[in-house]
Structure 1
Amino acid sequence: MSSWFSLIHPQVWILVLGRFLSELGTGFTLFYAPIFFVNQVGLSATAVGFALGCASISGVVGRILGGSFADSPQMGRRRTLLLSAAISAVGSLVLAGTQNFVTLVIGNLIGGLGIGLYWPATEAVVADVTLTENRREAFAITRLADNLGLGMGIVLGGVLVTATGSYRTLFIIDAISFIVFFVVVYVAIAETHQRQQTRQQETSHFAAWMVALRDRRLLVYVAVNIIFTTYISQLHSTLPVYFKNFVLVDSIKRIADSTISVLFAWHLAVAILAQLPVARILKRFSHSQALAVSALLWAGGFCLIWITGISHSGQLYWAALALGVFAVAIVSYTPSAASLVTDLAPPSQRGVYFSINSLCWAVGYFIGPPLGGWALDQPQSLIDYFWLWLALSVIITLAILYYLHRLLLSE
């Protein structure tokens, strides 16, 4: 393993550090925001789900701009990352002061714009400096940094909330982490975008988008990727509130915030430990086959959540098992998805292709939180079966992946 570690470009390692610090702050808020806004601010689960979904509206704008900015000689990857960090810090500060639904929506709109700008640029940097044979491992390492940061953030966030009860402090820490990420990029990240372009190429951003949107392989991938990101959004928006408000331990008491913190820390610990081994194991499969493995794992995880809700004992065991399966599902998905997009994209249009890939996350997070919020406002019996319906939807996911596999083989 050390042999290919040494082949990873130094820029990737620097970006890994920056992403770890940024995700550390995100971990403080990601799983606690729904609980805070529902149980302390006093908003309904549907309203909170809608507000969290609003981040995807501005995220769409950010991802479109981020892709064009990343491919632009005037902006490039580095400046786009700097702009993203600055906007994200402002969004976190707005959420720290949120007292009502309107401010919650505004904070999520600002934060969504920052995150939208971030993803096309950061993925393009990794693709620019990584050789094809090491690409899955490079993307796996960056995701490992994300998960390490999230894991530590969740644990520290849970400790802080348990000790002080101050959820608002979590958002301030998140803002500070974005400022630190800004400094890392400003000081240590060089521009990786190739500037040797003709004048026609420099002014053809619209044409680049049209070329990408006519790529049938990319469009089929987009369809399945939206489903995957909708699944992931359930972990971040629906599942924490479901554990808190609907799952009774031994049928008599609700799960404590600190226990939820431990469960999600376990989830990320599994993701951290499995990230590189899974990437190496799945390297022998095609990208579409690796994504099919992930889809099957999602189905298993959703079934386990259903069992958690209907069981009369051992709920924490089933919840932990489900979150472990979800962790492996995610690490099976992310490196293969990013590598597939890199393979599809012409080098001069990687920003646009990764922008479209990132737009799938915006759409998935626009669909997922409101859908989950609606489910959480239903009676217990309906919310329990919500997880089974998600498991059944994997049949559609597998059918699309089979078509994508045939398409990739034929072209």
Structure 2
Amino acid sequence: MRIRDWDSNLKVRLFGEAAMNITFWMFFPFLAIYFAEAFGKNKAGFLLVFSQIFSVVANLMGGYCADRFGRKRMMVLSAIGQGLSFVVFAFASSPWYQSPWVGFIAFAVAGVFGSFYWPASQAMVADVVEEKHRSQVFAIFYTSINIAVVIGPILGGIFYARYRFELLLIAGIVCIALGFILARWTKETAPVQKAAVLSGGGKWYQFLLNQLKDYSVIVKDRTFLLFIAAGVLAGQTFMQLDLLLPVYIKDVIHNQSLFSFGDWSFKVGGEQAFGIVLAENGFLVALLTVAVTKWMSRYSERNVFVLSSVIYGASLIIFSQTQWIWGLIMGMAVFTFAELMGVGLQQSFVSRIAPDHMRGQYFAASSLRFTLSRTIAPLSIPMTVWIGYNWTYFVLFILALLSAALYWLMFYSAEKKSMKLGA
């Protein structure tokens, strides 16, 4: 499906969100350093975990609100709210006023608004795109994000240290502008609700009770629960890109030659080696997401999901068995291929199994794969002290295989249920 054939909502979002993501990634990778310097590492870590809890709750609430109040309304409010939060953060880091606490609160609030935005944006794609084209559309949006992940930090590395105030202010202005663009040039896509939305005269707790009731329906969806469980196990592998892998590379790569011509050679240490491997991942994702997603759409989802987890596990074994920069580059190519196999198909899978009137909530609940993974995955770092790198990688390999088994069980149980209903 070509971009020119897309619904106008998606065209507006693609280019508007690309600008927002680039500005966001110009400063986001450096905020952990900023908070660590301001509060100390222990307090900064606790505060960032604390802010993540609010984002998780907001993400689930955002799915409910996207289904009840509309995709467009939630996206507009979220974009403007996030923009205003960044403006406050900017002034808390300005030449005239310095307050890390105000900056952190603004950052946490921006994260909450971002969590409200995501379920509505994903549900909108499912609303306006036919099922056979959804994986490709999701893949293009994913590619756009990864292009921002490559471009943003490069620009941020040049400008962040001296122009943090300006970068945060620009990010705020871009987010607010996106909100007004969405308000002006997009239309609502949410299906008409059968039940009336809770009126203003209802009790405040009735809203929360209705929300919990709707999410209880999701919990009873066996297929969806297996999907989340398998995703959490798989997440223990791909979350290591920002956790175990940089620590491992820093420990094993010491002034190795990447290229050599005669007497001249280009040598890299741990940090540089990780930067090269990370750049490889971003480049391959940006370059190949659409092509690999289109290729994978020819095969059954069961085979793709299962094989993706197996290949994730294989990439970890490659990492564990090499202390050579080119071996790590090869391992990252395998790792990235596993990532690309499922990126578009998994979003399309969620959109297909979700009832039309609950898509926002299903997308919000599906994000638990990443939320829970981010909570558990850091345990890999102390594990290297307890059992060493090789055994840590082996444990992660076993978790990847268990993920593959759960994906297989998910499709098996779904097919068995479908056969019974057909009979």
For normalisation by structure 2, the TM-score amounts to 0.79
SS in 2 for 1:248: coil
Per the alignment, residue 261 of structure 2 pairs with: none
Q: Among residues 328, 332, 337, which one is paired with 1:328 in the alignment?
A: 337
Q: 1:386 aligns with which of 366, 389, 392?
A: 392
Aligned length: 394
- Which residue of 2 is the match for residue 363 of structure 1? 372
Partner of 2:53: 57
* Equivalent residue number for residue 226 of structure 1: 232
Indicate how the Cα distance of structure 1 residues 226 and 353 shifts in structure 2: closer, same or farther if over 3 A, else same.
same
Counterpart CA distance in 2 for 1:130 and 1:283 is 15
Q: C-alpha separation between the residues in 1 aligned to 2:145 and 2:223? A: 28
Which of 295, 310, 318 is equivalent to 1:296?
A: 310
CA distance in 2, matches of 1:263, 1:104: 32
Query: Could you tell me how far 1:154 is from its partner in structure 2?
Result: 2.6
| 1:306 corresponds to | 320
User: Does the Cα contact within 8 Å between 1:278 and 1:331 map onto a contact in 2?
Assistant: yes
Partner of 1:199: 196
Asked whether the 8 Å contact 1:297–1:326 carries over to 2, the reply is yes
User: Which of these residues, 249, 252, 267, is aligned with residue 281 of structure 2?
Assistant: 267
Alignment match, 2:264: none
Q: 1:14 is matched with which residue?
A: 12
Deviation at 1:349, TM superposition (A): 1.1
Identify unmatched segments of 5+ residues in structure 2: 200-206, 258-266, 419-423
Aligned position for 1:187: 184
| One-letter identity of the residue aligned with 1:85 | A
Task: Tell me which amino acid in the other structure corresponds to 1:266.
Answer: E
Asked whether the equivalents of residues 59 and 359 of structure 1 are also in contact (C-alpha less than 8 Å), the reply is no
Deviation at 1:58, TM superposition (A): 1.1
The 8 Å contact of residues 59 and 116 in structure 2, kept in 1 or not, is answered as yes
Counterpart selection for 1:395 from 401, 404, 409: 401
- Partner of 2:73 in structure 1? 79
- 2:25 and 2:148 in contact (8 A); partners too: yes
Deviation at 1:86, TM superposition (A): 3.7
- Name the CA distance, whole Å, in 1 between partners of 2:99 and 2:315: 34
Contact kept? 1:70, 1:351, Cα under 8 Å: yes
- TM-score, normalised to structure 1's length? 0.81
C-alpha distance in 2 between matches for 1:113 and 1:149: 21
**Hey, what does 2:204 align to over in structure 1?**
none
Say if 1:179 and 1:255 are closer, same or farther in 2 by CA, change over 3 A: farther
> Which of 344, 351, 354 does residue 342 from structure 1 map onto?
351
Deviation at 1:55, TM superposition (A): 3.9
Q: How far did residue 274 of structure 1 move?
A: 1.4
Partner residue in 1 for 2:220 = 214
Partner of 1:25: 23
Structure 1 range deviating more: 173-182 or 54-63: 173-182
What pairs with 1:121-160 in structure 2 (closer than 5 Å)?
A: 121-160=120-159
Q: How far off is 1:124 after superposition? A: 0.3
Partner secondary structure for residue 233 of structure 1: helix
Bigger Rg, which one = 2
What is the alpha-carbon distance in structure 1 between the residues aligned to residue 327 and residue 28 of structure 2?
Answer: 22
Match of 2:300 among 286, 293, 306: 286
Task: After TM superposition, list the pairs within 5 Å mapping 1:234-273 onto structure 2.
Answer: 234-236=240-242, 239-240=245-246, 243=249, 247-250=253-256, 254-256=269-271, 260-273=274-287
1:70 Cα deviation after fit:
0.3
Q: Would you say the 8 A contact 2:75–2:120 is kept in 1?
A: yes
Does the CA-based 8 Å contact 1:301-1:325 persist in structure 2? yes
Alpha-carbon offset, residue 53 of structure 1 = 3.5
Moved more, 130-139 or 287-296: 287-296
1:353 is matched with which residue? Answer: 362
2:77 pairs with 1:69: no
Amino acid at match of 2:408: Y
> What secondary structure sits across from 1:360 in the alignment?
helix
Deviation at 1:209, TM superposition (A): 2.1
C-alpha separation in 1, matches of 2:44 and 2:211: 36
**Which residue identity is paired with 2:17?**
R
Q: Contact 1:128–1:193 (CA<8 Å) still a contact in 2? A: yes
Provide the C-alpha distance between the structure 2 equivalents of 1:166 and 1:372, rounded to a whole number of angstroms: 35
Q: Secondary structure at the match of 2:215?
A: helix
Q: 1:145/1:197 Cα in 2 relative to 1: closer, same or farther (>3 Å)?
A: same
1:239-285: CA deviations, max 9, x gaps? 4565557743339974456x654443321110112111111111122
Cα gap change, 1:52 to 1:285, in 2 (>3 Å): farther
Distance 1:89 1:269, change over 3 A: same
Whole-Å separation in 2 of the counterparts to 1:236 and 1:90 = 29
Asked whether the 8 Å contact 2:62–2:119 carries over to 1, the reply is yes
The alpha-carbon deviation at position 27 of structure 1 amounts to 2.6
Amino acid in structure 1 at the alignment position of 2:279 = A
Q: Is the 8 A contact 2:223 2:411 kept in 1?
A: no
Unaligned 5+ segments in structure 1 are none
- Contact kept, 8 Å, 2:55 with 2:112, in 1: the verdict is yes
CA distance in 1, matches of 2:253, 2:151: 25
